[in-house]
Amino acid sequence: MSLDQIIRAVQAKLGLTIDGKPGPQTWDAIHKAILGSPPPPLSTTLPQGAVDPRSEACIATLHDRVKPYARALVTRAAAAGIVIKIISALRTFDAQNALYAQGRSKPGSKVTNAPGGYSNHNFGLAFDIGVFDGTKYIPESPRYKAVAAIGLDLGLEWGGSWKTIKDEPHYQLRPSWAASMSESVMLAELRRRKSTVRDFFA
């Protein structure tokens, strides 16, 4: 079942408008269906303390504005009974190009539609999570959708909402100046700012 079908089914069960566009009630219901309880209430402040060492190593590479959001997602997922870690954050253009080549000029399945300079990872604005059972990484689980409810409430964009390659572990923070821009226009401006050493959130 696709995410759109899940959202529509939840909306139908709740008697909400069935449009496939989830609001807070829909995400709360999805969280409850997966974990058996509603998500904990969210604080208006973002946590400042460090999380686990693996996550912190990735968080250290993020833009300063994005770091507290990454920590908040880890902390609030834990409060909801889900263990996640940040497993990928900033990537160089070369590293992004290597991923883009996978499934094209190199063996493997396609994992991204973005070459170097065309991913929020290249500017420290995006990170990927992994769900864990103890020390065991779980690459696929309904818990990724439950975490999405928390991430969206924090104001992060979620890769599971994408139309083409859906990326449930992916989160990114959009600068306020890009609120009404398409992804391609925003990325063009991010590349320009990088080339002129201008802050991405200024």
User: pLDDT tens-digit profile of 165-199?
Assistant: 789 999 999 999 999 999 999 999 999 999 999 99
Tens of pLDDT along 24-72? 666 667 667 766 666 655 555 666 688 999 999 999 999 999 999 999 9
Domains in the chain (CATH in brackets) are 1-38 (no CATH), 51-195 (3.30.1380.10)
Cα–Cα distance, 116 to 118 (Å, whole number): 6
> Hey, what are 22's tokens?
């989830």
Question: Confidence class of residue 18 from pLDDT cuts 50, 70 and 90?
Answer: confident
Cα–Cα distance, 62 to 172 (Å, whole number): 10
The pLDDT, as a whole number, for residue 118 is 97
Tens of pLDDT along 106-164? 999 998 999 999 999 999 999 999 999 999 999 999 999 999 989 998 999 999 988 88
The model carries a pTM of 0.78
